[in-house]
Copies of this chain bind each other. A is one copy, B any other.
Amino acid sequence: MSGHIAVIGAGLVGAGWAIVFARSGHEVRVFDASETIRERLPSHFRASLEAMATYDLITDVDMVLRRITVCCSVSDAVVGADYVQESVVERVDLKREVCAEIDCYLGPLSLVGSSTSGLPASSFTEGCANRERFVVAHPVNPPHLVPVVEIVPAPWTNDTTVQKTRDLMQSVGQAPVVVTREIPGFILNRLQGALLDEAWWLFDQGYATAEDIDKTVKYGLGLRWAFMGPFETIDLNAPTGIDDYARRLGPMYVELAEGRPPAGPWSDDAVRRATEERRAALPADQIDARRAWRDNRLMALVASQRKLVP
């Protein structure tokens, strides 16, 4: 790539994206409609990068900082960009408006990835002149610490856009996955939702506390899923592999699925009780501090995994 990368919308997600691209050597131009956010960005970038440096996730904070420019308009950021990461607030009307503006300034070969976590690209890119070069590139927050990116084409997104966005994400150290066509929740939130629904139901029925359900994941399932996916996990959990596992344990999983309740909202009573339990474990005025703990744990985890055989 000869040009720079533009990031439009610089809340937590957009700011994380700017770090992702800048740390891997790209020049980044960032725009946010809020002047308050724009003014806060330089100190925010410095704080994030200095935290990463303490975990050896980055070496030269100043060099990375110098690659990021905060711009005062969409056009300043987008003109000349090879790739644009759209990260504005999750509202379809706003996404449509911002994508239309990006579309006006887009170079003839430039691509646009949207950070949307749930809106299909088809709901906000249909009117774009270059709509075949718009795609969803959904990260997990914060993108500079959690590498997965879901790449999801609209029906009119062309294959080159999918492939090049995937290659770009790979080249900047993210972990791109391709979702072949649009589906609500993409892959990540569908998997999370399936587990959450079961967790809420078990809690609601009184089988275990929220704390014990959390422990079952963090001291059990999550320890394997942190470096293997669910398929590799079961592939290694039967003598001759995944088909062997399906033969041995498939019938048990059918029985468990048959015991599951039909789709429906999490019960109000369960939400109320889980909130009580969580606020007893973590008072409201300590949530922010716990988020900082989470980010530190993520940095430590990512840093330790980098040293290991994938």
Contact = CB atoms under 8 A, between A and B. Distances in A.
Interface of A: 118, 140-141, 146-148, 150, 175, 177-181, 183-185, 187-199, 202-203, 206-232, 234-237, 240-243, 246, 250-260, 263-266, 271-272, 274-275, 278-279, 282, 284, 287, 290-291, 293-294, 296-298, 300-302, 304-305, 308-309
A182 to B, nearest CB: 9
A279 B298 CA distance: 31
Contact of A217 (B219, B229, B237, B242): B229
Contact of A207 (B146, B183, B302): B183
Contact of A214 (B228, B237, B274, B301): B228
The 6 A-B residue pairs whose C-beta atoms are closest, nearest first, are A214-B229, A222-B225, A148-B220, A257-B263, A226-B226, A175-B219
17 contacts: A148-B219, A148-B220, A175-B220, A177-B212, A184-B255, A185-B256, A194-B195, A215-B229, A217-B225, A218-B229, A222-B224, A222-B227, A226-B301, A241-B278, A241-B284, A242-B274, A301-B304
A274 B217 contact: no
Contact of A208 (B185, B187, B217, B253): B187
Given A236-B290, A278-B231, A188 B207 contact: no
Nearest to A194: B198
B225 A225 contact: yes
Contacts of A255: 184-185
A202 B217 CA distance: 22
Contacts of A150: 216
